[in-house]
Amino acid sequence: MAKRGGFPGMGMPGNMNNLMKQAQKMQRQAEENQKALEEKEFTAKAGGGAVEVTISGKKEVTKVKLAEEVVDPDDIEMLEDLIVAATNEALRKVEQESAAMMSKMTGGLGGLGGGLF
């Protein structure tokens, strides 16, 4: 019976071990990048700086700062919209940073491995 397959010692010695080592290295890098991202803060402003929202890399709102002049009891809706806009912009910043880290880790290979981590 002939032996087939890509296991070490069966036609492609060491290739499987190298692949496993590379995958483990990428996993460690992804975990380190995720931890570094979670420790960062991202701030965004809306309404010309009247509303400022800060979120963590864990995507949790950590601070909301409002300029006094934006607090108008007769126009709560505008304030709500500004808070939403600033929060969404801060979240976009987290996503951009995360994508940049992944791209750097994978050497710009796009989505390769992106679904694994």
- 63 versus 21: the higher-pLDDT residue is 63
The distance in angstroms from the start CA to the end CA of the chain is 39
Tell me the one-letter amino acid at 117.
F
Q: How many CB atoms lie within 10 A of CB 110?
A: 10
Taking only the tens place, the pLDDT of each residue in 35-69 is 988 899 999 999 999 999 999 999 999 999 999 99
| Percent of the chain topping pLDDT 70 | 80
pTM: predicted TM-score of the whole model, two decimal places: 0.68
Q: Which of 102, 113, 108, 112 is closest to 32 using CA atoms?
A: 102
Strand, helix or coil for residue 60: coil
Task: Sort 81 into a burial class: Cβ within 10 Å, 0-12 / 13-18 / 19+.
Answer: middle
